Structure 1
């Protein structure tokens, strides 16, 4: 469908938006300029109704118009009228901006709350840590010598099961069994539920 534009005494047919998008998809800058002129106002109006902030609305509208230029080859006239496609792009971009702004505000709010969180009482934290260490030492002493050596080498010195087996001159299976049994006894001694 062609739109008519009056030039002097003559009326010249103007290409419709769908045709302009097809030409834009082929890289026709003049066609894109015509698309821009036809849809910029409607795009900005829709974006403003969603975003509400005028400066951000203008920014989002420009992004939408760039999207039209970049994604014109993906427009399929059989799926939607040209203006509906443009307005869908605008609505999606506007909603994305609002969601992004809300997520940013939520992160800032969370950060502000964390800044207000009182610092831990260092003395009580140190006392707790010391008591926990003492309890672990007592429980380690309750293990058999091989269990204690295996646990100490694997968990305090960071050796692999194979390295522990080699260092203690024991078969790997034996080390694994002693480690498992030692950890079970530690868990029971420390009162940790499985």
Structure 2
């Protein structure tokens, strides 16, 4: 059972944390457990303010605690108190995590942008389709009545050549000839290559 360690308050020396950190530097696991209990909440609080994501904050806080364990021997009491030293480590780790996450997001965004094919411009496509339909209508008006009716039945209503011949009351050979002539006239009117 670990003893409760209270953070030094105003006017109280940070000697408890310094003593614990000195023991941790010598590999004392019990001292680390007590130090952990004393500093884990402030570390997590600082990391959460920087990282914002709760799961990542906990992960970064654990990394900070491991770093405190590994680097306890580097702490110099004459250069400052324990909490600012630990919180500096925590802040640096948290900022590193945010930068790393942002860099990954930027890489993903650049990769997505590079692989993304631009969407069709719907307005331009609609205008182009409308212009093509108008041109076809104009060219259809240049055909004879029999040619226009035969093409309309065959291409817009889905009739077969024999059905077109039957509806129009014309021989099948005549319908085929009229359709061929009509298609040639349309091709020339629309400016489509042969």
The TM tier, using the shorter chain, reads: 0.5 to 0.7
Residue of structure 2 in register with 1:26 after alignment = 26
2:95 equivalent to 1:95: yes
1:45-90 CA-to-partner distances (Å, cap 9, x unmatched) read 0000000000000000000000000000111111121010000010
1:94-140 CA-to-partner distances (Å, cap 9, x unmatched) read 0000000000000000000011157xxxxxxxxxxxxxxxxxxxxxx
RMSD: 1.9
Structure 1 segment 26-105 matched on structure 2, within 5 A: 26-105=26-105
Flag structure 2 segments of 5+ consecutive residues without an equivalent.
6-13, 119-194
1:18-38 CA-to-partner distances (Å, cap 9, x unmatched) read 110011000000110011000
Flag structure 1 segments of 5+ consecutive residues without an equivalent.
6-13, 119-194
1:142-167 CA-to-partner distances (Å, cap 9, x unmatched) read xxxxxxxxxxxxxxxxxxxxxxxxxx
Q: Relative to total residues, which structure has the larger strand share, 1 or 2?
A: 1
State how far apart, in whole Å, the 2-side matches of 1:29 and 1:101 are. 33
SS at match of 1:99: helix
Alpha-carbon deviation of 1:15?
6.2
State how far apart, in whole Å, the 2-side matches of 1:116 and 1:92 are. 36
Distance change >3 Å, CA 117–CA 80, structure 1 → 2: farther
Residue of structure 1 in register with 2:116 after alignment = 116
- Using the size of structure 2 for normalisation, the TM-score is 0.53
